[in-house]
Amino acid sequence: MLEIRNLQKQFNRGTANEITAVDKLNFQAWRGEFIILVGSNGSGKSTLLNLIAGNLNADSGSIKLNGDEIVEYKEHERSRLIGRIFQNPLSGTSPDLSILENFRLAYLRDKCKSLRIGTGNDFREMISEKIRELNMGLEKKLDQEMGKLSGGQRQALTLLMSVFARPTLLLLDEPTAALDPKSSVQLMKLTEMLIQDNQITAILVTHNLKDALQYGNRILQMSEGKIIRDFDAESKKNLNLNELVSWF
Amino acid sequence: MDFYLSAILLGLGFSSMAMGIFISMKIFNIPDITTDGTFTLGGALTAVLIMSDFHSLLSMPAAFLLCAFAGAITGFIHAKMKVNALLAGILVMTALYSVNLAIMGKSNIPLIGKALVFEIITFAEDGNLNRFVYLFLMILICAFFLDRLLKTDFGIAMRATGNNEQMARSNGINTDRMKITGLAIANGFTGLSGYLITQVQGFADINMGIGVVILGLGSVMMGEMIVRLFGSNSIIIQITAVISGSILFRLVLAFALSIGIDPLYLKLVVAVFVLLIISIPNLRKSHA
């Protein structure tokens, strides 16, 4: 379970350009909950995700994951519990490393990076089987450099990598923003399936209101660093696109 | 012919340093100027230990470890104190000048009348050939070690840190620690080069490291051109290309001297040559 209490983040503190990106924010997310986070540009959605992931440090407040206070953890320490998908397909993978090596790092996320060569046949077979689920034919290209794949392929692999070590929480920051419509639909379906199968708590930031209605079992709206609307699974079912548009 | 063999010997000796630059520059994308200081540090320590009647093989791990420590300091200043990598390297390099002088006690130490590493095991009667075999084996071991290291889980994490730091952190890698360790290993290799070159040339000099970073950079760039010829990006090909680059670089300098270029202009030749290596691929791209 994710529990956020009085989380605050300001930029340019003490100057004329001071901005409160996240303002004394409170919310809880339960295991297996797939939360859709919407809001205008600058409402604080991405900052909130960065604060949870540890990419940014909070000015004050608490972030608890399964009861553990993680606000003092560094980003790499939090990543043992949190998987991330970025807006830019280039951000989630290492372009010069092969698909197999990228997955090796995902596998080792919560483990020691020792002086062992771990990309042997057993590991190769395990990854090949895992990647076959994507139906992209990438299981035959495990030695190919990640940088030579398309944005959609990279984003799908990033998603698979991020749930590989069974994270407690999955953060998705507009993962389909740079993808074509077909790849976007494929990725969103895959996301939903992986979240349900692995019972992961997930937060998806999106500007695509159709996706916001179609996917997830809870919807939150942020404005000026605060959550101003919170619809659970039941009340989300009664929402329609026009109503969602009228929020903005 | 001996002239070119000497160039090959120097190329082999310097290729350990080129491997160090390969780690800092190509793996971590960090221009590490510490190299100029750690090359001399490796040579200085080797000369002092040999002149103090320590076994010349013993000075090898000593040079590696001390230079690795210096590299770790650069890494710490950069990663933990958030100082620009270039500046961190310049700071440590500057400090090392005094450290090297303190270790040496004077500006030049000739290794006269002492058993050098090439004399411990004899592979061939001819002195230069014996040195060649010894250096070749040493570099082969270094290349094998580096290739293996970069394929381990730790090595993959190192490569990811330099390739996409955000991704590395998102996958539980302590990127600060990786940079510190990586720069330590890179400078350890450079120290090893100082150890070898001091014994190839038979002396250590306080100024022996000035500008070596550009030699290393030139070797790595030349290696990159060779990699393009092979069309493969495997680690062992990249390392082999860096070693070949180091030897080719020395051969080009030897050729420049052999056609009568004044040694006074040697550094100018080096700079122009490196500029050519760096710019030719970009010029080709812009004309394509």
* Tens-place pLDDT, residues A91-109: 999 999 999 999 999 999 9
Query: What sign does the CA torsion over B127, B128, B131, B137 have?
Result: negative
Does some domain include residue A116? no
B231 in contact with chain A, both atoms CB, cutoff 8 A: no
Single pTM value for the model: 0.91
Domain residue limits at A181? 2-96+150-246
Work out the pLDDT band at B59, boundaries 50, 70, 90: very high
Q: Give the pLDDT confidence of B267-287 residue by residue, as tens digits.
A: 888 888 888 888 877 777 666
Does some domain include residue A124? no
Does some domain include residue A103? no
In this complex, do A116 and B149 lie within 8 Å of one another by their Cβ atoms? no
Q: Calculate how close chain B gets to A147, using CA atoms only, in Å.
A: 11
B154 in contact with chain A, both atoms CB, cutoff 8 A: yes
Q: Calculate how close chain A gets to B211, using CA atoms only, in Å.
A: 30
What pLDDT does residue B288 have? Answer: 61
Instruction: Report the CATH number at residue A72.
Output: 3.40.50.300
Token pair, residue B54, equals 């320590």
In this complex, do A109 and B168 lie within 8 Å of one another by their Cβ atoms? no
A39 in contact with chain B, both atoms CB, cutoff 8 A: no
Q: Give the pLDDT confidence of A52-95 residue by residue, as tens digits.
A: 999 999 999 999 999 999 999 999 999 999 999 998 888 999 99
User: Mean pLDDT of all residues in chain A?
Assistant: 92
Task: Give the residue carrying structure tokens 């930029």.
Answer: A11
Q: A51 and A22 in contact (C-beta within 8 Å)?
A: yes
Does some domain include residue A215? yes
Token pair, residue B27, equals 């793996």
Domain count along chain A: 1
Backbone angles phi, psi at B151, to 5 degrees: -95, -10
Q: Calculate how close chain A gets to B158, using CA atoms only, in Å.
A: 10
In this complex, do B149 and A119 lie within 8 Å of one another by their Cβ atoms? no
Q: Give the pLDDT confidence of A13-48 residue by residue, as tens digits.
A: 889 889 999 999 999 999 999 999 999 998 999 999
| Burial (Cβ within 10 Å: 0-12, 13-18, ≥19) of residue A67 | exposed
Give contacts of B157 with chain A, Cβ < 8 Å. Answer: 105, 108, 113
In this complex, do A79 and B159 lie within 8 Å of one another by their Cβ atoms? no
What pLDDT does residue B273 have? Answer: 85
Give the type of residue at B67.
C
ipTM for the complex?
0.89
- The CA-atom distances, in angstroms, between A64 and each of A6, A24, A47, A167 are 12, 15, 17, 14
Q: Please name the residues in contact with B125: beta carbons below 8 A apart, sequence gap of 6 or more.
A: none
B174 in contact with chain A, both atoms CB, cutoff 8 A: yes
Does some domain include residue A91? yes
In this complex, do B149 and A115 lie within 8 Å of one another by their Cβ atoms? yes
**Closest alpha carbon within chain B to A81:** B172
Does some domain include residue A238? yes
Residue A157's H or E segment, with its range, is: helix A151-164
A120 in contact with chain B, both atoms CB, cutoff 8 A: no
Give contacts of A86 with chain B, Cβ < 8 Å. Answer: 166
In this complex, do B171 and A105 lie within 8 Å of one another by their Cβ atoms? yes
A137 in contact with chain B, both atoms CB, cutoff 8 A: no
B168 in contact with chain A, both atoms CB, cutoff 8 A: yes
Does some domain include residue A53? yes
Residue among A126, A198, A122, A121 nearest A159 (CA): A198
In this complex, do B171 and A106 lie within 8 Å of one another by their Cβ atoms? yes
In this complex, do A75 and B152 lie within 8 Å of one another by their Cβ atoms? no
In this complex, do B164 and A95 lie within 8 Å of one another by their Cβ atoms? yes
Q: Are strands A2-11 and A68-69 parallel, antiparallel or unpaired?
A: unpaired
Residue A218's H or E segment, with its range, is: strand A218-223
SS (H, E, C) chain B: CHHHHHHHHHHHHHHHHHHHHHHHHHHCCCCCCHHHHHHHHHHHHHHHHHHCCCCCCCHHHHHHHHHHHHHHHHHHHHHCCCCCHHHHHHHHHHHHHHHHHHHHCCCEEECCCCCCHHHCCCCCCCHHHHHHHHHHHHHHHHHHHHHHHHHCHHHHHHHHHHHCHHHHHHCCCCHHHHHHHHHHHHHHHHHHHHHHHHHHHCEEECCCCCCHHHHHHHHHHHHHHHHHHHCCCCHHHHHHHHHHHHHHHHHHHHHHHHCCCCHHHHHHHHHHHHHHHHHHHHHHHHHC
- The CA-atom distances, in angstroms, between A174 and each of A37, A84, A200, B9, B34 are 10, 11, 18, 56, 41
Does some domain include residue A139? no
Q: Give the pLDDT confidence of A172-205 residue by residue, as tens digits.
A: 999 988 888 888 898 899 999 999 988 999 999 9
DSSP for A114-150, please give it: -S----SHHHHHHHHHHHHTT-SSGGG-TTSBGGGS-
Minimum-distance CB partner of A118 among B153, B164, B170: B153
Work out the pLDDT band at A120, boundaries 50, 70, 90: very high
